[in-house]
A and B are shown apart, each in its own frame.
Chain A
Amino acid sequence: EVQLVESGGGLIQPGGSLRLSCAASGFIVSNNYMSWVRQAPGKGLEWVSVIYSGDSTYYADSVKGRFTISRDNSKNTLYLQMSSLRVEDTAVYYCTRGRLGSSSGYYFDYWGQGTLVTVSS
């Protein structure tokens, strides 16, 4: 059974750093397209970052240069290192597994339960 369990969220002051973790089970993280998606309170979904099985990474413009996605193959875990945090980064952060559709285009077939990051002084 595929499971994604996020951890590491909490209250952090603006300008601070935080690392989110996503422990996966039921599949191998390094063989998959893995992403972070966030949702600010009362708002819609916003894609944050992706890491391909081949190690390529991409970021939303809103977090580029501040966030880093990575994985630990030995722990089958995905990470999101967040630095220079801003109030507008406050959100629930979801870990997701991606799949390539039949007519191209990735989608997310599994989501974690999410971890809340609150950036506030």
Chain B
Amino acid sequence: SYVLTQPPSVSVAPGKTARITCGGDNIGSKSVHWYQQKSGQAPVLVIYSDGDRPSGVPERFSGSNSGSTATLTISRVEAGDEADYYCQVWDSSRDHIIFGGGTKLTAL
């Protein structure tokens, strides 16, 4: 089955840029979506279809996808961005949804 690989943790100083990767076999051929989950809360969609932002999500959040890696980029990181971030794709061959293992973002 299809596997998405994320780093367990990413740390960045406030005001700097955080990049969270999501690796998968030829993931560039798939549509990748990203969710933010703060402690004790339900996940929230922050990027869909590789790089589109839902209404209300700051422009500081952006996404890209090519080859074997998709990337969520958070510019000018704030303390409020600390959360777990999950990538997700749809496995059309099995009609299954696949999530990455999640990355904990810490603003040092």
* A residues at B contact (CB < 8 Å): 35, 37, 44-47, 50, 56, 58, 60-61, 94, 99, 101-109, 111-114
Q: Which residues of A contact B50 (CB under 8 A)?
A: 103
What are 21 sample pairs from A and B whose C-beta atoms fall under 8 A apart? Answer: A44-B84, A44-B101, A45-B35, A45-B37, A45-B86, A45-B88, A47-B99, A56-B95, A58-B96, A101-B48, A101-B49, A103-B31, A103-B49, A103-B50, A105-B32, A105-B33, A107-B45, A107-B49, A109-B54, A111-B42, A113-B42
* B residues at A contact (CB < 8 Å): 1, 30-33, 35, 37, 42-45, 48-50, 52, 54, 84, 86, 88-90, 92, 94-102
Q: Which residues of A contact B1 (CB under 8 A)?
A: 61
Are A105 and B31 closer than 8 Å at their CB atoms?
yes
Are B96 and A107 closer than 8 Å at their CB atoms?
no
Residue of A nearest to B54 (CB): A109
Q: Which residues of A contact B35 (CB under 8 A)?
A: 45, 108
Q: Which residues of B contact A56 (CB under 8 A)?
A: 95
Residue of A nearest to B33 (CB): A107
Q: Which residues of B contact A111 (CB under 8 A)?
A: 42-44
Minimum distance in angstroms from A55 CB to a CB of chain B: 13
Are A50 and B42 closer than 8 Å at their CB atoms?
no
Minimum distance in angstroms from A38 CB to a CB of chain B: 11
Give bound CA distance, A35 to B92, whole Å. 15
Q: A104-B92, A105-B90, A111-B42 are in contact. Are A45 and B102 (CB under 8 A)?
A: yes
Give bound CA distance, A3 to B81, whole Å. 24
Q: Which residues of A contact B98 (CB under 8 A)?
A: 47
Are B99 and A46 closer than 8 Å at their CB atoms?
yes
Q: Which of A45, A50, A58, A106 contacts B99 (CB 8 A)?
A: A45
Q: Which residues of B contact A94 (CB under 8 A)?
A: 42-43
Residue of B nearest to A56 (CB): B95
Given contacts A106-B90, A107-B49, A107-B88, 11 further A-B contacts (CB under 8 A): A44-B86, A47-B97, A105-B30, A105-B31, A105-B33, A105-B90, A107-B33, A107-B90, A108-B33, A108-B45, A109-B54
